[in-house]
Structure 1
Amino acid sequence: MTLIIQRLLLPLLLTLSLNIGAQGPAAPPPPELNVKGYLLIDFYSGRSLAEFNADERLEPASLTKIMTAYTVFRELASGRIKLSDPVMISENAWRTGGSKMFIEVGKQVVLEDLLKGMMIQSGNDASVALAEYVAGKVESFANLMNANAQRLGMTNSHFTNPNGLPDPELYTTARDIARVTRALIREFPQYYTWYSLPEFTYNGITQQNRNPLLKRDPTADGVKTGYTRAAGYCLVGSAKRGDMRLISVVMGAPSPKARAEASLALLNYGFRLYEADKLYPVTQPLVKLRVWAGEREEVAAVPQWDVVATIPRGQYGQLNAYVEKLPNIEAPLTRGDRLGDIVVRLGEEEILRVPLVAFEDLPKGGFWRQAKDSLLRLF
């Protein structure tokens, strides 16, 4: 069932009636970048705004740690581990080469510190310590990483370790890395803010955040650098200006300067040529939907998250939105249960789909209410 959203979208519908069919000028091509692959996406929809070799399998280097962080965050959300947990550091973690947090073998480190040491200082040692604590050994943790990758639709990725040190079976793509980064920001905003911390001190050693975007773009708040000789210089960036958030992925740049400049070029390209409009906030009920066999006949519904449409500048008049309602919604309902989708189109193209969920609990009705609704449904 399709419902046109009229109450909240009335100004937009009026604009449509005046401007439908109007097209803005063709967008200029994205910048030419000296990298192996790149991708720029809109955070809210996941749509690609610019790309090159985005599906080519490449070595991720320390971009791997985005998936490591996401996997640990999911364990935190499950309640199986806590930020305050003390983690005993093994000799295996202590001996891990490359960038370090400088943890010491045989000592306990609070899990939150290990996360920050990995996210801010890119500690390979911290990554291994986290993996061993969560799953017992690195190989078992890699299995969790791959299970999460499969769940997120990262079809061209395979992880063998939590830190990105070279391995012939470790690979991903710019598109897959953007996918896990988007999921991390959406699902765990409380932890994502750590990526913007300028420095972190552990064991008397202060190390600066390795992300150059934080100093060069005041709207940037993440995410992660990476480097090995085979992978080249990599950088996942994210910035938010107004209601628009973009995620850029640069892989295989020839130098640290090149990866920073490529990331800034992509982000500036997106912010210059696109605009974002918050159509419906997550806090405001959007429609009321018919429910069968409930204490009440209707339930208020809200988007699961803010509905923000990112579109080429000057094309607001091409937007249209409607609700696709699930058939035969039945009580009982719990706040947050999915009831359908909000679909946003730009002209004929679907650009955004956001789950529509129950704003409130709705218990099952009594015998007479259920009997009445059973008769009504027959007709």
Structure 2
Amino acid sequence: MNKLVKYRKITSILMLLVLVFIFSSLSFAETEGPFKLESKSAILIDAISGEIIYEKNIHERLSPASITKIMVLLIAMEEINSGNMRIDDKVHVSANAERMGGSQVYLEEGETQIVDDLLKAICLRSANDAAVALAEHMSGSIDVFVQRMNEKAKQLGMTNTHFKNATGLPDEEHLSTAYDISLMSKELLKYPKIHEWLTIYMTDIKVGKNKNVTQTLVNTNRLIREYQGANGLKTGLTNEAGHCLAASAKRGNLSLISVVLGGPTSNSRFLESKKLLDFGFANYDSLPICRKDEVIKKVKVSKGKESDLNIVAERDYSLLVKKGSSKEIEKEIILPDVINAPYEKGQKIGEMILKTNGNEIGRISLIAEKDLKKASVIDMFKKVTTIFLGNSR
């Protein structure tokens, strides 16, 4: 009898060990993701919050090829948004721009192009000559512009990226990662106007000193035509980099960005990007919290030309949630009851803290909607007089 009990105990322990091994193996398989990709590196993120949904070797430094030009587009959008550059500005094409190899629209030294057409050439054909011409126009020289690219990368937290050119042409020191590329892609998509170029499938531009040559541009990112909600971004290809694609799409409230680097074929980068985006849209949703410049609260102003000031959200903010799950979001708004003038537009005044089950999950800066000037002696006198007359009625 004792032998039977002992045998049963040993059998139970062995069965338990087998079950532990099986469940451990299943758990490990799940960490590899819901599918396998051939690309060397890949990432899928929520375009608003930046939360990572899927990852594979996301910090491996690889050649980004023409995906590099996302940074060129980002700096161009900053210039346009700040008023330093307009889309109808004329750009002089240098000898340096003309002799760029790889993808090009065959610009000629001495011709002029408008910014609008150069952006089309970059977004659709990934034209190296157009990228260099625009970079030189914005910074005076390609060397200064590349320095600016690296400074911007540093600001965005792209710690594993180093740019050596504005085109993505091969250079052993010109490297980035899927994660870093997702950061600059997310930043670029903050400018809605960029979609005016990214979503064009086919168009024509005139090139040459006499503008007597028509270049028909077809978007190298075929997802723009094939994938529901696709709104960007950029392809890349060199022998060193393999087939690369940073893709973006929006359905409903959810905006996603995928990046695949080092794909074996052109077809694979599109198929794997679709897999990533499909997985995101099938399993996640976006819960909007606030929009950029949305009025959150009005605060009283002391010693100002106006008696109150609208406090607005600094940026769009949403939470990524799994479909079918429910989250109760608590919003804690931290603002002073009264502020003293002066304040500048965009100056931080407080924060909105987001919590679920008492745990902080995010913060949003709350800023001044407009400039708030300090009241002069005459302004103060007018206020006092108005109050006195109002009370005497």
Secondary structure of the corresponding residue to residue 210 of structure 1: coil
The aligned counterpart of 2:36 is 32
Once the two structures are superposed, residues 234-275 of structure 1 have per-residue CA deviations (whole angstroms, 9 ceiling, x without a partner) of 101111111111111111111111111111111111111111
TM-score (normalizing by structure 1): 0.83
Which has the higher Rg, Structure 1 or Structure 2?
A: 2
> Which one of 356, 366, 370 corresponds to residue 366 of structure 2?
356
The normalised TM-score by structure 2 is 0.80
User: 1:59 aligned to 53, 60, 63, which one?
Assistant: 63
Letter in 2 for 1:211: N
Structure 2 residue corresponding to 1:158, chosen from 145, 162, 165: 162
Match of 1:46 among 44, 50, 58: 50
Cα distance in 2 for residues equivalent to 1:104 and 1:322 = 58
TM-superposed CA distance for 1:296, in Å, is 6.0
Letter in 2 for 1:322: E
Deviations for 1:74-102, whole angstroms, at most 9, x for unmatched residues? 23334443322222222221121111122
For the structure 1 residues 343 and 40, does the alpha-carbon distance in structure 2 shift closer, same or farther, using more than 3 Å as the test?
farther
CA distance in 2, matches of 1:158, 1:337: 32
Unaligned runs of 5+ in 2: 1-29, 207-213, 381-393
Q: Is 2:311 aligned against 1:287?
A: no
2:331/2:353 contact within 8 Å kept:
yes
Q: State the partner residue of 1:228.
A: 238
Deviation at 1:295? Answer: 5.2
Residues of 2 paired with 1:226 and 1:314: CA distance?
36
Question: What does 1:290-309 align with in structure 2 at a 5 Å threshold?
Answer: 291-294=301-304, 298-309=308-319
Aligned partner of residue 96 in structure 1, secondary structure? coil
Q: Which structure carries more relative contact order (alpha carbon 8 Å, separation 6+)?
A: 1
> 1:205-244, CA deviations, whole angstroms, 9 ceiling, x for partnerless residues?
2121010211221201100000111111110111111111
Q: Hey, what does 1:172 align to over in structure 2?
A: 176
Partner of 1:342: helix, strand, or coil? strand
Cα pair 1:121 1:200 within 8 Å, conserved = no
1:197 to 196, 200, 207: 200
Q: CA deviation at 1:282?
A: 4.1
1:97 maps to 2:101: yes
- Residue 148 of structure 1, CA deviation: 1.0
**What runs of 5+ residues in structure 1 fail to find an aligned partner?**
1-25, 370-379
**Aligned amino acid, residue 210 of structure 1:** T
1:140 Cα deviation after fit: 1.6
Q: Does 1:128 align with 2:128?
A: no
SS in 2 for 1:120: helix
**Deviations 1:102-140, CA, capped at 9 Å, x for gaps:** 222221111221121111110011111112222232212
In the other structure, the counterpart of 1:5 is none
Aligned length in residues: 344
Contact 1:117 1:200 (8 Å CA) reproduced: no
Aligned partner (choices 150, 169, 179) of residue 146 of structure 1: 150
Shift of 1:195: 0.4
> Which amino acid counterpart does residue 57 of structure 2 have in structure 1?
N
CA distance in structure 2 between the partners assigned to 1:336 and 1:179 by the alignment: 23
Relative to structure 1, the CA distance from residue 297 to residue 319 in structure 2 (aligned partners, 3 Å threshold; closer, same or farther) is same
CA gap 1:306/1:92 in 2 versus in 1, 3 angstroms: closer
> 1:331 Cα deviation (Å)?
1.8
What aligned pairs does 1:77-116 form with structure 2 within 5 A after superposition?
77-116=81-120
- 1:9-24 aligned at under 5 Å gives the runs none
Contact map agreement 1:45 1:352 (CA 8 A) in 2? no
Cα gap change, 1:250/1:324 in structure 2, threshold over 3 Å: closer, same or farther?
farther
Percent identity of paired positions between Structure 1 and Structure 2: 36
| Shift in CA distance, 282/166, structure 1 to aligned 2, threshold 3 Å | closer
Paired residues of 2:293 and 2:314 also in contact (CA < 8 A): no
CA RMSD of aligned residues (A): 2.6
Provide closer, same or farther for how the CA distance between residues 114 and 349 of structure 1 changes in structure 2, counting only shifts above 3 A: farther
Relative to structure 1, the CA distance from residue 264 to residue 132 in structure 2 (aligned partners, 3 Å threshold; closer, same or farther) is same
Q: Deviations over 1:56-77 (max 9, x none)?
A: 1111000000001112222333
Distance 1:345 1:250, change over 3 A: farther
